[in-house]
Structure 1
Amino acid sequence: MKGKCIKYYEFGRPQDVLKSENNKVTDPVSGELLVRMITRPINPSDIIPIRGAYSHRISLPAIPGYEGVGVVEEVGPSVSQELLGKRVLPLRGEGTWQDFVKIPEQYAVPIPSFMDDFIAAQLYINPITAWVICTQQLQLTSDDVLLINAGGSSVGRIFAQLSKIIGFRLIAVTRNGLYTDDLLNLGASHVINTSQDSLIDTVLELTEGQGATAAIDSIGGLEGTKLAFCIRPNGTLLMMGLLSGIPINGTEIVKRTNIHMRLFHLRHWNKQTTLQTWQETFHDLIELIQDSKLHLSQMGAAYHLFDVQEAVKKGEFLNKGKIFLTS
């Protein structure tokens, strides 16, 4: 069987380096599923590696895409035929920006009928990251104050909702006022617009001089470094993203603060977690969505997979909603 895929042979601007081509699709072996992809979101975590931020651990050529939803097309020996035609998340396997993805059966996450394809397709990267950080990494409670930057991002909006679900206070940092009302309605306690207010002074004022219990940096660079000086002694700065492409100044932070610095990558959690925890974590999130406690981004625009260059360009200017690549 043959399919189509998106591939890049060098790092650079996605519009320049992404190519569409044919690839050979081999039959699933014992314990594997072959999934025909339906749709996938475009996330910053998909784009940043293409630009070369993690070139030391990416072998070229590579097929991008960390999440998406599809239908089980074929099953390998020892896999139940009942899975044929079922919608699943084909995760922890190959890149999802292709027609067909093969994965081990145990990692496939079944999708319930109530959930549409566009919501299901974005159930992994941002929701799992935010949920694991809040409940397992930081173990936040009602006594805690969490500070995040990139507040208007998809994952920022999830943190805002989790603050209401779990009960901690959230201070979201943005660079303009576009997302203030939305974030407050979703559950954030405060939103700091750094184009108008001083970050450090405002955080200290909101926390009565104590600082935040923990902060999550999605940006890096100067903006990420500033978060460190908003955290109370023995608090935690957790680094989970690099939207700026520039690392934070760890040396400066160590010299001037008494906080703990930690790095979170979803792939590290994947390696450490058990299969039972993997499936239970998705089950918890699916329940929150079914109960209308957690809402993911709506579709902003959808492009065919092989119009990926146009989709990436559109994503740079889209303020609300998510861009999807469909098959």
Structure 2
Amino acid sequence: MSLCLSFPVTGNPAEVLELVERPLQEPQGHEVRVRMRYAPINPADLNYIEGNYGRTATLPAIPGHEGCGEVEVVGPDVVSLKPGDVVMPLLGGGCWAQHVTAAEHHFAKLPGGIDRVQASMLRINPVTAWHLLTKHVELREGDWVIQNSANSGVGRALIQLAKQGKLKTLNLVRRAELIPELLALGADMVVLDNDEGLQTAKDALKGKDVQLAANGVGGDSAIRLMDLLSPEGMMVTYGAMSRRSLKVPNKFLIFKNLRLHGLWITKWFEKAGSAELREALEPLSQMVSEGLLTTATDEVIPMADHRRAIQRAMEGGRNGKVILDLA
């Protein structure tokens, strides 16, 4: 038997999640069974349980958009994986479980020595940051990229990837105490996400061409990003942490001809071919393995203590991701 976290109805995650026992599945054909080790609690996971996500759960459902584990058993026709391989599920759900069984192409093999906790957080935030920097605007060494929510998982990954790619980042945050931390991570400039910070950023970017903005907040914060973009620049919205609608002043469309795009990395994973997945995951997993790309963690909590884990994940002022230990 195997344990998983499941919810029979949508609602408050701390109330509707249940620890459930289920029988183990024996892999057939090209299937593999993976013993999951760790899985982070992301805002998307909480929204999914609440019923406020971009896709509706078929109940009862097992949440968990990402995680990491080792191959335990393989089916007779499996060719790409073997027992003991470290893997990351690409399913986009069902990771809050001790075991996951699926076809071999639904798992990405990772370097054997990779840190399992860091690997469990690879699929969403680092890949989102990679997509933002590579798939929307042609950027060259020394170009500036601006973003809000710079202390989020995506924001921190973007800072590290930009530094590796010799790009410069200007970052907006809500709390002053985050500024030294992000500068130490590799940010070129960090300002508060308010009118005073906007003016400071304008003065610093004066005369510089800024063609890409990453928006994870929405509301007034997104307007500040649009104000900082150069004419013909692009703002890509990947999140809405403020839960406020995106409002676009007419002047930014008429006089600056800004381009507005959206990014839902889950949908990209569903459409991406194997070559695209390798293009993203191979260098990212190698960077994680070498310690060049890290995601901040707040606390690792056993899945049996899931209510405390959920409550901690929903609190503000955390130091990083809350991780479920699936042992």
Fold match (TM-score > 0.5): yes
- Contact 1:218 / 1:242 at 8 angstroms: preserved in 2? yes
2:202 is the alignment partner of 1:204: yes
Native 8 Å contact 1:65 1:97 kept in 2: yes
| 1:130-169 superposed Cα distances (whole Å, 9 cap, x missing partner) | 1122122333222532111111112211111122111222
**Cα separation, 2, equivalents of 1:216 and 1:176:** 19
Aligned residue type for 2:206:
E
Secondary structure, aligned partner of 1:119: helix
TM-superposed deviation, 1:325: 0.6
Residues 80 and 214 (structure 1 numbering): CA distance in 2 closer, same or farther, change over 3 Å?
A: closer
Tell me if 1:309 matches 2:307: yes
Separation in 1 of the partners of 2:47 and 2:305? 19
1:236 to 234, 237, 241: 234
Residue identity in the other structure for 1:240: Y
The match for 2:64 is 65
Judging changes above 3 Å, is the alpha-carbon distance between structure 1 residues 239 and 81 closer, same or farther for their aligned structure 2 residues? closer
Cα RMSD of the aligned pairs, angstroms, is 2.5
Any idea what SS the aligned residue of 2:134 has?
helix
How far the C-alpha of 1:242 sits from its partner, in A, is: 2.0
The one-letter amino acid of 1:101's match is V
* d(CA) in 2 for partners of 1:24, 1:245: 39
Q: 2 CA distance for matches of 1:289 and 1:271? A: 23
The separation in 1 between residues aligned to 2:81 and 2:292, in whole angstroms, is: 31
TM-score by length of 1: 0.89
Partner residue in 1 for 2:98 = 99
Aligned to 2:39: 40
Deviations 1:69-95 (A, max 9, x none): 112122123014961132211222541
Q: Which residue number in structure 2 is paired with residue 185 of structure 1?
A: 184
Aligned partner letter, 2:233: G
- Structure 1 portions without partners, runs of 5+: none
What is residue 107 of structure 2 aligned with on the other side? 108
Q: Distance in 2 between matches of 1:119 and 1:280?
A: 19
Q: CA deviation at 1:246?
A: 3.1
CA contact under 8 A between 2:111 and 2:289: conserved in structure 1? no
Question: What secondary structure, in the 3-state scheme, does the structure 2 residue paired with 1:233 have?
Answer: coil
Shift of 1:317: 4.4
- Structure 2 residue runs without a partner (length 5+): none
TM-score of the pair, normalised by structure 2 = 0.89
Cα distance change of structure 1 residues 264 and 82 upon mapping to structure 2, 3 Å threshold = closer
Aligned residues: 324
Identity of paired residues, percent? 28
Report the equivalent of 1:259.
258
How far the C-alpha of 1:217 sits from its partner, in A, is: 0.9
Corresponding letter in the other structure for 2:7: Y
Deviation at 1:274, TM superposition (A): 1.8
Deviation at 1:218, TM superposition (A): 0.9
1:38 positional shift: 1.0
Preserved contact between residue 28 and residue 102 of structure 1 (Cα < 8 Å): yes
Classify 1:254/1:219 alpha carbon distance in 2 versus 1 (closer, same or farther; 3 Å). same
Q: Which moved more, 1:44-53 or 1:234-243?
A: 44-53
